[in-house]
Amino acid sequence: MLPPLSLRARLLALLGAVLAAGLMVGVGLLMLHAAQRVRAESDSTARLAREFAATALASLEDSRDPVAALRGLLAEVEQLRHIRIYMDGSGAPAEAEQERRAPAWFAALVAAPPSVTRIRLDGRGRLAGELVLAADPGDEVDEIWDEVAALALGAAGLALAGFVVVSLAAARALSPASALVEALERLRRGERSLSVPVGGAPEFVAIAERVEQLAAALARLDEENRALIQRLVQVQDEERRDIARDLHDEIGPFLFAIRAGLGALGRRLDGDRRADCTRIEEQISALQQVNRRILGRLRPAALDELGLGGALEALVRGWRELYPDVAIALCFAAADARLDETTALTAYRIAQEGLTNVFRHSGATRVEVSVEETAQAGRRELRVAVRDDGAGLDAAARRGIGLRGMGERVAALGGRVALRSSAPRGALLEAHLPLDGAREPA
């Protein structure tokens, strides 16, 4: 299937079709008029030939030798254009060797049927037989062909010149459309600081102004959305912090007190009662482990106590204990003192989510976690990457809730996050968080 034509191509195709149709109609009218001219010329020539023959025959009657006079007359008229006069039975005089300029198809199209007049000579002195007058429109057809060809070539030249002029004018008039398409594509990619230098027709200028206004409106909406998402993230962190504090300061001590009390009670009992206390104490111990895991997910204590680097070391050490057959490497090249709480927590969450997905889905044998400061276009950024050599990404797989949440959290900080396949195998989770307060479009 052919691709759709552009607006310029459609206009030029329409113009070319109109010019071609007009040229064909003009040539057709010329040829129609040419046929009428040939018929009129043939009829006029035949009429003049008949009058000439009547006058000549009348003069031959008084001649002493009419036959010789008739032969001389026929010899003289052989040089006439458009007409041939000869005696029937003696054969038509040979045509002078002359190359016809008009092609055969044109001559057949415009030439009228041959006009032949026969005059009986019996009874005119000593003359006998028939005198044949045959019209010959060949010269007239050649003249008309020259005229038609010249007019057709001139019209074709003018049409071609007009087509070129209109093509250049259309290209110049439609040139702002490409700038508008490029601006809309940049807008689709997320660029909001747009300036569309479009001139030309007022319609294109108005569209360019509307595109710039749309970009400004989208920039405001993006800023509002980032502020809203950032506020939601802050509220979530505050709620997690409050829940973690309650679990640590209230639930934790209560569980410890209950476990200590059961231990003291069990030491004063014996037999089955002591065994029951021991089982209850074990269940409370398991509940304490669950409480600590929940505290770790809500608010990693190591982040407050050891900073981002120490918290990541503790995180990697925990995964190494759970999966001793997997090699986990950590590269930390950032200054904890220069990281604010939100950025540090976001970086920790990205590494946490990345490791969770690796051990849950990839079946990798080696994982690399790197956190480093970089500079992109003059902006300081914190790059967090989790790379594995596992099964890679399934093209049909959809992002889970955790990754979508990370994307929203990173976007709220003005950063960006991407999950893609890694060469030669495996996957790469990579995030860039701004460190200098500059925010990029989400």
Q: Quote the pLDDT of residue 114.
A: 63
CA distance 233 to 229: 6
Question: DSSP of 188-216, one letter per residue?
Answer: HHT---------SSHHHHHHHHHHHHHHH
Q: Quote the pLDDT of residue 160.
A: 87
As annotated, the residues of the chain forming the CATH 3.30.565.10 domain(s) are 306-442
Closest CA to 430 of 399, 363, 385: 385
Q: Quote the pLDDT of residue 230.
A: 77
CA distance 369 to 392: 16
Residues in the chain with pLDDT values less than 50:
94, 96-97, 396, 438-442
CA distance 409 to 233: 7
Q: Are strands 379-388 and 416-421 parallel, antiparallel or unpaired?
A: unpaired
Yes or no: is domain 306-442 CATH 3.30.565.10?
Answer: yes
Q: Quote the pLDDT of residue 97.
A: 45
Q: Quote the pLDDT of residue 371.
A: 92
**What letter would DSSP give residue 359?**
I
Q: Quote the pLDDT of residue 278.
A: 84
Q: Quote the pLDDT of residue 438.
A: 43
**Which residue has tokens 């014996």?**
270
Q: Quote the pLDDT of residue 386.
A: 92
CA distance 81 to 95: 11
Q: Quote the pLDDT of residue 96.
A: 44
- Write out the E strands in 2-140: 83-87, 116-120, 130-135
CA distance 261 to 259: 5
Share of the chain above pLDDT 70, in %: 76
Q: What is the pLDDT of residues 180-193, one digit of tens each?
A: 888 888 888 877 78
Q: Quote the pLDDT of residue 90.
A: 57
